[in-house]
Structure 1
Amino acid sequence: MPTVLQHEKYASFDDFYPDYLSEHTNRTCRQLHFAGSTLALLCLALMLLTHNLWWLLSAALCGYGFAWVGHFWFEKNQPATFRHPLYSFMGDWVMYWQLLTGQISF
């Protein structure tokens, strides 16, 4: 099913973010995003502590892997990463903060 994200160019992140949120209506998808982002932060902390760059790869695999499972199996849509990589990355962290602070429900 085509979405607005597939066709539209955005003038700013503020224009993009409402459409990004509309592609995260499934609760399990949001939970997987949150879990993957939390694990990615943990991996980055371990990279800083151990000076082992393999943790950077682990961070990317956790962050994107969990999110993509959420999209393909639960949300049944294509991740915005494929169409708007920078805005999607930014959207992940804004949504993470909003989930963490209760602005968006799990």
Structure 2
Amino acid sequence: MMMNFKNLDEFWAFYVSQHSKAATRRLHFLGTLSGLLCLLSSLYSGRWIILLLAPIIGYSLAWYSHFFIEGNVPTTFGHPFWSFLCDLKMFALMLSGRMDKEIKRLGKRPLL
């Protein structure tokens, strides 16, 4: 089912609801971190083939978490660009220790 969102903020609230379990968010964090490390490694070494690993590792971890932990369909399937932006936002919030506060702000309790 394709849902329509008016803006990125509206989609963000939906995105957070689809990442209700801490294990899902942690695997997304690891996937994003791995993708960024592949990018940096590729830039540093000049081996552009490493870039191919970034989406493979990142999406594999994220999709695994949706199918086997969260029990829902990845938002990437319906909204790839907004999902990517929200993943980066979630990564930054987790890195800074502010994701739980954001979940509470949106009225969703973090599940441990």
TM > 0.5: yes
Distance across 2 between alignment mates of 1:7 and 1:66: 23
CA RMSD of aligned residues (A): 1.2
Q: CA offsets, 1:9-38, max 9 Å, x none?
A: 112111100000000011111110001111
1:42 and 2:53 equivalent?
A: no
Distance across 1 between alignment mates of 2:15 and 2:76: 10
Distance across 1 between alignment mates of 2:3 and 2:30: 29
Per the TM alignment, residue 50 of structure 1 is displaced from its structure 2 partner at its CA by: 1.4
For 1:74, the equivalent position in structure 2 comes to: 69
In structure 2, what residue type is equivalent to 1:27? A
What is the TM-score with the length of structure 2 in the denominator?
0.85
Per the TM alignment, residue 63 of structure 1 is displaced from its structure 2 partner at its CA by: 1.1
Correspondence for 1:103 among 75, 98, 107: 98
SS at 1:25 equivalent: coil
What is the TM-score with the length of structure 1 in the denominator?
0.90
Per the TM alignment, residue 103 of structure 1 is displaced from its structure 2 partner at its CA by: 1.1
* Identity over aligned pairs, percent: 37
Off by >2 Å, runs of 4+ in structure 1? none
Distance across 2 between alignment mates of 1:14 and 1:63: 23
Distance across 2 between alignment mates of 1:62 and 1:82: 17
SS at 1:94 equivalent: helix
SS at 1:62 equivalent: helix
1:15 and 2:23 equivalent?
A: no
Per the TM alignment, residue 78 of structure 1 is displaced from its structure 2 partner at its CA by: 0.5
Per the TM alignment, residue 56 of structure 1 is displaced from its structure 2 partner at its CA by: 1.1
